Amino acid sequence: KQEVTQIPAALSVPEGENLVLNCSFTDSAIYNLQWFRQDPGKGLTSLLLIQSSQREQTSGRLNASLDKSSGRSTLYIAASQPGDSATYLCAVSGNTGKLIFGQGTTLQVKP
């Protein structure tokens, strides 16, 4: 059974810092990995999708890497801003497309 773990559960940093969020999964037979952000009381916003054959994806200040064989992904956020404060979720999909989610990392960026 696929399990997804995110570390740390919560993170507080001053504005401007670069930071890394970690995601690990137990079954390396994934089709893709997707990072989302969730703001309080809101739905999920897709940030990055990495196909299983890819090693990384970049969007603006965000960079996500995937090491499928070791079951790990990282989300790197450069020059963090208060507007980045949210919960970040990692999810993997197998051969059915349904997503298995981690518990999330709650990020607070202080001005």
Partner 1 sequence: GAGVSQSPSNKVTEKGKDVELRCDPISGHTALYWYRQRLGQGLEFLIYFQGNSAPDKSGLPSDRFSAERTGESVSTLTIQRTQQEDSAVYLCASSPHYSGGAYNEQFFGPGTRLTVL
Residues interacting with partner 1, by CB under 8 A? 31-32, 34, 36, 42-46, 49, 51, 89, 91, 93, 96-104
Amino acid residing at 15: E
**Burial environment of residue 76 by CB neighbours within 10 A (0 to 12, 13 to 18, 19 or more):** middle
Q: Within 13 Å of residue 67, how many CA atoms lie on the same side as its CB?
A: 9
CB-wise, 77 or 89, nearer to partner 1?
A: 89
Please, what sign has the CA dihedral across residues 50, 42, 11, 71? negative
CB of 68 to partner 1, least distance (A): 14
CB of 74 to partner 1, least distance (A): 19
CB of 38 to partner 1, least distance (A): 9
Please, what sign has the CA dihedral across residues 73, 103, 87, 48? positive
CB-wise, 33 or 109, nearer to partner 1?
A: 33
CB-wise, 13 or 22, nearer to partner 1?
A: 22
CB of 102 to partner 1, least distance (A): 7
